[in-house]
Amino acid sequence: MSRFRQAISEGDGISVVPVLQGAVEDLAALAEEAGAEAVAVDLADVERVRASTSLAVLVRGGDPNEASASGADAWIVPFSEEAESVVARARELDLDCAVEVRDEETLEEALERVDPDIVLISERGLDDDEEDLERTLDLLADVPAGKLVISEARVSAREQVVALENAGVDAILVGAEFLQGSADFGSALAELTGR
């Protein structure tokens, strides 16, 4: 099992994966202290994060070759027509892929065409009539057993994290806007991880 999949599938409860921006070296060290299982960064920040933490690194952006060369453990792949070929290339490079979906139709097509080990249910761009966590909880029932599920949802309280954990979500990708907007990044993250 790869490093990223191991990080989010082992241990007690749901894994909290903070998205880091800005002073990523300092934030990665704080994330590790606060109980994060992995961190997510832009492609350009992987080397800087690697220097300050032993946590698994998830990256968004670039292509599989760039993500692998950067030293990332996993890569977010928005589902598209090209997903089959890019996921195949990532697997050749031993790079975990979190295939990003936003609706039932895309999830169904991703499962059929790519059969991802990790499904990332994104709640970015919620419709006006959708509530936080609703998309994740609705799509979760359609994810087959044995797949790891990451929710990219707007969470600001431990209760939301626990609700996702109880529903069967393996990890939550916590946006930089919440954590880095807080007065104390480490304390805000520790609250979410339950430390």
**Residue 190 near residue 35, CB atoms below 8 Å:** yes
Return the structure tokens found at 69. Answer: 């060369």
Measured CA distances, 55 to 4, 9, 108, 194 (Å): 9, 14, 31, 18
Domains of the chain: which residue ranges?
A: 3-193
Q: What pLDDT score was predicted for residue 3?
A: 82
Q: What count of Cα atoms within 13 Å lies in the side-chain half-sphere of residue 75?
A: 26
**Residue 110 near residue 16, CB atoms below 8 Å:** no
List the beta strands (DSSP E) in 6-158: 15-18, 38-42, 56-60, 74-78, 96-101, 118-122, 148-152
Give the CATH superfamily of 3-193. Aldolase class I (3.20.20.70)
In DSSP terms, 174 is beta-bridged to 18
pLDDT tens digits, 120-178: 999 877 666 667 788 888 899 999 998 999 999 888 888 999 999 999 999 999 886 76
193 has pLDDT over 90: no
pLDDT tens digits, 50-78: 888 999 999 988 889 999 999 999 999 98
Q: What pTM value is reported for the model?
A: 0.90
Nearest CA to 185 out of 17, 34, 22 is that of 34
Mean pLDDT of 32-44: 92
Placement of tokens 């979760």 in the chain? 140
